[in-house]
Structure 1
Amino acid sequence: MKSAYRSISAVAALSAMIVGAPVAQAEWQPDGPVSIVVPWSAGGSTDTVTRVLAGELTEALGQNVVIINQPGASGSVGTRSVWDADHDGMMMAAGAAADLGAYPVLGMLDATLSDWRLYLHVANPGLISVPADSDIEDFGQLLEALQTSDEPLTVATAGLTSAGAIAMGAIEGAAEINYRQIVYEGGNPAVIATVAGETDFTSQTATEQVDMIRAERLRPLAVIASSPLELDGYGTVPPVTDWLADVQSANNYFGVWIPADAPQEVFDTMDAIWENSIMDSEAMKAFAAERGALFDPSYGDAAQEAAMPMLSINAWQQYDGGTAENSPEDFGIPRP
C-alpha cells in the first residue's frame, strides 16, 4: 500500500507541477479572464497579431485572454477605456506605440507614453500599394501623378496617427504632393476599399495588405523604410528611399500596455512571460514571417526606447501639420 501510495503521490505531484507551470514563472495569477482591448476594427494589423499573442498569454497565465474590439477616434476610444478601468492588470490595451504616445499631443488622452508599461512584439512597416488593375507600375509613376495631377489622388487609411497616415505624412515631408485621405475604421477596411477601387492606393501596413498582394488584388510599389521588404509568396518590395531619399522612417512597433501604476506583481509576471515565452515564441515568429512584419520583442525601459523614434516622427508630423493642439516637447518627445 505504501508503494502504491507513493506512486500516486508522485504522479499527483508531477501533475501539479505541469498544471502549475504556466503561472509559476512569477507571482501574479489572474482569478478570471484577462481582456485586451484592440482599439481598431477586426482584421487589421493590431487585431491579427494580438489574437496570436492572446493564445501565448493564455497558456502562460493559465487564464483565458479575450480580445475586445473597440474602434474610434484613431484608437483613443478603446485605449481610454483601459485607462479609465481599474489599473489591476486585468485589462490591457493593444496597438502601435506611436499612436499611444501621440494621444496627449493630439489632446485625445492625458496619459503619456511613460504612464504605461510597454510590451512590444513586432514592427509593421507601411506599404504603398495600388489595385492590381491600376495603370501605375511603380512608385516613381505614383509620385509623378501625386506631383502633377490637378485632382488629388485618393489614399485609403485608418485615419489620424494610423500607419497609413504616418506613411503619407512622411512622403509629404519629402515631396510636394496632391492627395486626399479617405478614412476607414481600421486598416483592413481601408485595404478592402482600395481593392474595390474606392481609392487610388493605400498606405496601410504590409500585414494588412499581404493577403491581397498574394491574391494579386493589390500591387505593392514601395515600403516606407530605407531597406527592401521581403514578402513570402511575392518577392521583394523596394524602399521608398529609392525615389525619395529624405523620407523619415523608423520601426513602427506594436504591442500591449498596462497602466504603469498597476501592482508590481503584474509587471513581474508580464516581464517574466516576455523574457521566457514571448522572446522566443515560435507562433509569434511564424506570424511575423508570414505577414511581412519584423519580430523584435522588448519590454520596460527597452521598449520605451524602441518606441520613441516612430513616436517622434508621428507626433511632430501632427504638430507641424497643425493637427495637434499640443507641442510634443511638452511630453518629452524629441524632434526626429
Structure 2
Amino acid sequence: MKHLTKIAVLAAAGAAFAAPLAADNHGWKPDRPINIIVPWSAGGSTDQVTRVVAPILEEALGTEIVVVNQPGASGSTGTQAALDAPRDGYTWTANAIANNATYSVTGLIENTSIDDYEIYLHVANVPLVSVNADAPYKDFPELLAAMASGSVTVGTAGVNSSGGMALAAIKESAEGDLSGARMIAYDGGNPAVIAAASGEVVATTQLAVEQTEMIRAGRLRPLAVLSDTPLVVEGIDPVPPITEFMPDFEVAADYFGVFIPKGAPQEVYDTVNQVWQDKVMTSEALQSYATDRGAVFAPSYGKEAYDRAMPVVIAEACARVTRGEAVVDPSEIGITCPAE
C-alpha cells in the first residue's frame, strides 16, 4: 500500500486560506434543527471533534445542531441513513473522509463515492499503537515480535475504521507474518480504547485523540505513532514515529470532517462555505482540541478539501485491492490505483 501524503505538511497547508468572505451575509437561514449523524458510538474521534464543531456552526447558523450517534457496520449504517435522508440541507454526516469515499469498494454501501458530498474538513488524525499498561511489551519491536509468534488481540472500531486500516497497514508493511495480531471489532473507537485500557484486549491501533486521556491516566502505554514525526502532546512523553521501526512505512493524512450530501439547495452549501471559512477555520476551540488531543488543525472546504482528501482516499481504496478486501474495483467509483 502506498500512503501518499506526509502528516508533517498539514500544519503549513492549513494556513493557506482563501480571502475572507463577509461573515454577516448568510444566504440560508435554517428554520429548524440540523442533524449531524455520527456513524460511530459516543466518545470516539469522530464524535469528539463533531461536538467541538457543532456549537461553532450552531452560533453561526442560528439554529440547533443535533449530533446523532448511529453506529454499526464500520460506520456504514449511519452514513447510509444520511444518504437516504431528504436532500434539504438538514441532515449531514461526519466521519473520516476515507471511509465515506470507499464504502462502495468494501461493499458496505452500494453506488457511493466522495462525489456524493460537499466536503468540510477540520482536523487530521494519526493512529497510535498502544498496549494495556500491564502488558509485557515495552516497545514496538517487542509487540511486533509477539504478533509474529503468538496471539495479540487488538481492539479497533472495525475493518473500515482508522484503527482497522492502521492495523492492516502495519501487517502489510512488516517484514514477517503478523497473523498473530487478531482484531476485535467494537462499535467505535472509544469502546475499542476502553477495551485495551481495561485489559479486555491487549492493544489498540485507534487514533491518538481517542487514547490521550487513557495514556495520561496511566492505563495505556503508547508504543508508536503512524507518522514520520514523533507525537508530542502535553502530559505525555513523546511517542516515536513508526518510521523509526519501519523506515519504508509511508503515512497519509487521515482527514476528518462533516459532509453534506449533494442535492440540497445551493444556498445551503454557499452559506456553510462562508461559515466554515469565517468561523471554523479561525476557531480557537478547535485549535485547542487539536493541540490537547494530538490532532492536526487543518480546516478546509470545497476544492481545497477535495484535493487534500484524495491522496488518502486513493491510498485506502487501492490498499483494499492489495489486501483482497475490495468487493468493487476502485475504478468503478473514479479511483485509479497507481501501478505497482
TM-score (norm 1): 0.90
Name which one, 1 or 2, has greater alpha-carbon Rg: 1
The match for 2:311 is 309
Kept in 1, the 8 Å contact 2:186–2:192? The answer is yes
Gaps of 5+ in 1: 1-21
Aligned to 1:98: 98
Correspondence for 2:253: 251
Task: For residue 82 of structure 2, give the secondary structure of its aligned residue in structure 1.
Answer: helix
Aligned to 2:282, which of 280, 284, 305?
Answer: 280
Paired with 1:328 and 1:244, the residues of 2 have a C-alpha distance of 28
**1:131 maps to what in 2?**
132
Q: Name the aligned partner's letter for residue 111 of structure 1.
A: T
**Higher RCO, Cα 8 Å, sep 6+:** 2
Q: Which residue in the other structure is 2:293 paired with?
A: 291
Map of 2:17 onto structure 1: none
Bigger shift: residues 39-48 or 300-309: 300-309
Partner of 2:171: 172
- Partners of 1:191 and 1:208 within 8 A in 2: yes
Conserved? CA contact 1:169–1:317, under 8 Å? no
| Structure 2: gaps of 5 or more residues | 1-21
1:259 Cα deviation after fit:
1.3
Is 1:120 equivalent to 2:130 in the alignment? no
Alignment deviations for residues 132-168 of structure 1 (CA, whole Å, 9 cap, x no partner): 1111111111122222x1x331100000210111111
1:239 matched residue in structure 2: 241
Distance 2:331 2:244 in 1: 32
The residue type paired with residue 330 of structure 1 is E
- Looking at structure 2, the residues matched to 65 and 93 of structure 1 have their Cα atoms a distance apart, in angstroms, of 12
Q: What number of residue pairs does the alignment pair up?
A: 313
Q: Distance in 1 between matches of 2:25 and 2:188?
A: 36
CA distance in structure 1 between the aligned counterparts of 2:185 and 2:250, rounded to whole angstroms: 22
Q: Distance in 1 between matches of 2:25 and 2:142?
A: 54
Residue 119 of structure 1: SS of its match in structure 2?
strand
Higher mean C-alpha deviation, range 117-126 or range 132-141: 132-141
Correspondences of 1:32-47 after superposition (within 5 Å) = 32-47=32-47
The whole-number CA distance in structure 1 between the counterparts of 2:269 and 2:245 is: 44
User: Please, which of 322, 325, 336 is the counterpart of residue 323 of structure 1?
Assistant: 325
- Deviations along 1:200-222, whole A, 9 cap, x unmatched? 21000001000000001101000
The aligned counterpart of 2:74 is 74
Q: Distance in 1 between matches of 2:146 and 2:331?
A: 36
Displacement after TM superposition at 1:23 (Å) = 8.0
Distance 2:102 2:257 in 1: 15
**Greater helix proportion:** 1
Identity of aligned residues (%): 48
In the alignment, structure 1 residue 153 sits paired with structure 2 residue 152 = yes
2:23/2:275 contact within 8 Å kept: no
Distance in 1 separating the partners of 2:329 and 2:247:
27
Query: CA separation in 2, counterparts of 1:333 and 1:284?
Result: 31
Amino acid at match of 2:124: A
Q: Which runs of 4+ in 1 moved over 6 A?
A: none
Q: Which residue of 1 aligns with 2:49?
A: 49
Correspondence list, 1:2-41, <5 A: 24-41=24-41
Q: With the length of structure 2 as denominator, give the TM-score of the two structures.
A: 0.89
In structure 2, what is the Cα distance between the partners aligned to 1:113 and 1:189?
27
Aligned to 2:297, the other structure's residue is in SS state strand
